[in-house]
Amino acid sequence: ETGVTQSPTHLIKTRGQQVTLRCSSQSGHNTVSWYQQALGQGPQFIFQYYREEENGRGNFPPRFSGLQFPNYSSELNVNALELDDSALYLCASSSGGAYTQYFGPGTRLTVL
Amino acid sequence: LAKTTQPISMDSYEGQEVNITCSHNNIATNDYITWYQQFPSQGPRFIIQGYKTKVKNEVASLFIPADRKSSTLSLPRVSLSDTAVYYCLVGDRNSGNTPLVFGKGTRLSVIA
C-alpha cells in the first residue's frame, strides 16, 4: 500500500509568482485535504476535495485554489505569492472524507 | 479556532511514562477525540482515537473520563525517538467533510 506522497519537497519563489504543489493520495482514498503550517503553529485547513469537487474550505483567500483528478491525486495552486505564504504545505488523504486522515511529508515553500 | 487546550511543552527522561492532558470543555455529543504526532519537517501521524473510557493500541493509551471534557494521552516508557509535537483534536468523525482543527500542540522533549 502506497502512502501519501507530495512534490516537490522544497520550493523557493519570489513575491508575486505562482506555485503549484502536487499530492498523490494513499491507495483507496478518494478525499484529499490541504493544510498550511507556519513555523511553530499547528496545520491550518485550506480546503478539501472529494471526487473532484471542492468539499469544504477554510479561511483562505481565492488565490489559493485546487484541483482533484480522476485518480484522486490533487494540486494546490497559489497565485500572487506573498511573504506570509512561506510555510509547510501538507496534503492528507482519507476515504469518504473520514475524520482520520493520513498526511504526506509536506512541501516546504519559501517566498522571498 | 481550536476547540482544545493542551500544555505548550513537556520534558521527560527516557524510560518514563508521559501523560499529556487535553481540555475540550465544549466537546459535542458526536465528537471523537483524536491524537496526532508530528516530527520536524514531516506530516502529522495518527496515533489514537476514542470516544469514551479507555482505548489502547501498540503505541499509546487514551483515557477519557465520563464527562469527556478532557482526555489524557499516555505514552509508556518513552525513548528519544518520541520527541515530537503531539496534537489533540476533537471532531465529528462521522461527518462527511469535517476538517481537522489543530491547535499549537504539546512539544514533548525526551532527554537521555
**Rounded Cα–Cα distance for residues A89 and A35 (Å):** 6
* Of residues A43, A42, A37, A53, the one with CA closest to residue A87: A37
Answer whether residue A40 shows pLDDT above 60: yes
Can you give the pLDDT at residue A60?
Answer: 96
**Rounded Cα–Cα distance for residues A68 and B110 (Å):** 40
- Round to the nearest angstrom and report the end-to-end CA distance of chain B: 36
The separation between CA B3 and the C-alpha centre of its own chain, rounded to angstroms, equals 13
Answer whether residue A12 shows pLDDT above 80: yes
* pLDDT tens-digit series, residues B5-27: 999 999 999 999 999 999 999 99
* pLDDT tens-digit series, residues A73-97: 999 999 999 999 999 999 999 886 5
* Of residues A16, A47, A34, the one with CA closest to residue A88: A34
Residues of chain A contacting B, Cβ within 8 Å: 4, 33, 35, 40-45, 48, 50, 55-56, 58, 88, 90-92, 96-106, 108
